[in-house]
Amino acid sequence: MSEKKATRAAYGEALLELAAENDKIVVLDADLSHATMTLKFSQTYPDRFFNCGIAECNMVDIAAGFSTMGYIPFCSSFAIFGTGRAYEMVRNSVAYPHFNVKLCMTHAGITVGEDGGSHQSIEDLALMRVIPGMTVICPCDANETKRAVHAIAEMDGPVYLRLARAASPVFEEEMPFEIGKANVLRDGTDGVMFATGLMVSPALNAAAALAEEGKKIAVVNVHTLKPLDEETVLNMARKCGKVMTLEEHSIIGGLGDAVAATLIGNGDFKFKKVGINDVFGQSGTANDMLEEYGLSDGKVLETARAYF
């Protein structure tokens, strides 16, 4: 992992690649194109870009309309607005009729940083997971984001793609990406860490450090929270016994609960959820936030060492 790049930046690049291949791709934004990284798309394809203003509810409804005409609309805003303010429209105008709308929201989680708790969406995965028929994806790095964007353009139906503001490590080895299929990045027998999004890197770093101490900890990248790869979750949990989940999201309703629901009644496991413990975020740098909420590399290692 020699470079850092924000997943939102990779999203913007992927949109340009898609648009060159498919003239049905349209992009809608809520007056945040500089932040969502859709600006280059708007400049390159002005006739296929629609700035809906600070009106996420309208944006989602317009996207629903586009989908009924055979277009593939990608909607972008901050996660707190795209999943919170526009929730009813996402539910009733997009998911209920199962329209082909791609909801790609950035600035999710506490790594939004200085914008503070009001803008740090720590419940977006839970909100989107509970909607019937919604696919929910949280890529771990820029490369996976690009593959995810191309994949969701190919599938039919509503998708929520979670993106981050902060630059994060880019894995040197590209991983295969298939919607609904988790990737085992590191094998082990003494425990397993299921991680999603920006928490995949700290999980791998912790596992590498623990390996030097004689502990073999597996790491699984769960980029698709819904549909969850239950087969891989069960196989790795049964193999390792001790399970930990890591997410830059509330421990309520996100990856931890998805994994726990899969494991209940299917074996005897020790289980620990690591994430935001039912509190709001606060203002500070992205690194300060990760440290404060126990999600930095060092804090994840401390927690994993004590648990495993």
β-bridge mates for residue 250, sequence order: 276
State how far the Cα of 234 lies from the Cα of 228, in Å rounded to an integer: 11
Residue 2: how many other CB atoms lie within 10 Å: 7
Could you tell me the residue ranges of all domains in the chain?
3-170, 183-307
> What CATH superfamily is the domain 3-170?
Thiamin diphosphate (ThDP)-binding fold, Pyr/PP domains (3.40.50.970)
Check residues 181 and 3 and name the one with the higher pLDDT.
181
- The topology under which CATH files domain 183-307 is Rossmann fold (3.40.50)
Which two three-digit tokens encode residue 232?
Answer: 């891989």
β-bridge mates for residue 245, sequence order: 194, 273
Taking only the tens place, the pLDDT of each residue in 45-79 is: 999 999 999 999 999 999 999 999 999 999 999 99
Taking only the tens place, the pLDDT of each residue in 108-164 is: 999 998 999 999 999 999 999 999 999 999 999 999 999 999 999 999 999 999 999
Percentage of the chain modeled with pLDDT above 70 = 99
Would the pLDDT of 239 be above 70? Answer: yes
CA angle 272, 164, 129 (to 5 degrees): 55
Task: Report the pLDDT value the prediction gives residue 173, as an integer from 0 to 100.
Answer: 79
Taking only the tens place, the pLDDT of each residue in 24-49 is: 999 999 999 999 999 999 999 999 99
State how far the Cα of 210 lies from the Cα of 223, in Å rounded to an integer: 23
Query: How many CA atoms lie less than 13 Å away from 144 in the CB half-sphere?
Result: 32
Fold agreement between 3-170 and 183-307? yes
pLDDT tier, 2 (very low <50, low <70, confident <90, very high otherwise) = low
Task: Report the pLDDT value the prediction gives residue 47, as an integer from 0 to 100.
Answer: 97
State pTM to two decimals: 0.97
State how far the Cα of 307 lies from the Cα of 294, in Å rounded to an integer: 14
For residue 267, give the nearest of 232, 307, 225, 239 by alpha carbon.
Answer: 239
- Burial letters 149-184, b for 16+ CB under 10 A, else e: bebbbeeebbbbbbbbbbbbbbbeeebebebeebbe
Which two three-digit tokens encode residue 114?
Answer: 């200085």
Candidate list 3, 17, 56, 230, residue with the active-site label: 56
State how far the Cα of 223 lies from the Cα of 221, in Å rounded to an integer: 6
**56 counts as catalytic:** yes
Place of tokens 């839970």: 126
Would the pLDDT of 186 be above 70? Answer: yes
For residue 195, give the nearest of 167, 217, 173 by alpha carbon.
Answer: 217
Check residues 306 and 2 and name the one with the higher pLDDT.
306
Task: Report the pLDDT value the prediction gives residue 300, as an integer from 0 to 100.
Answer: 98
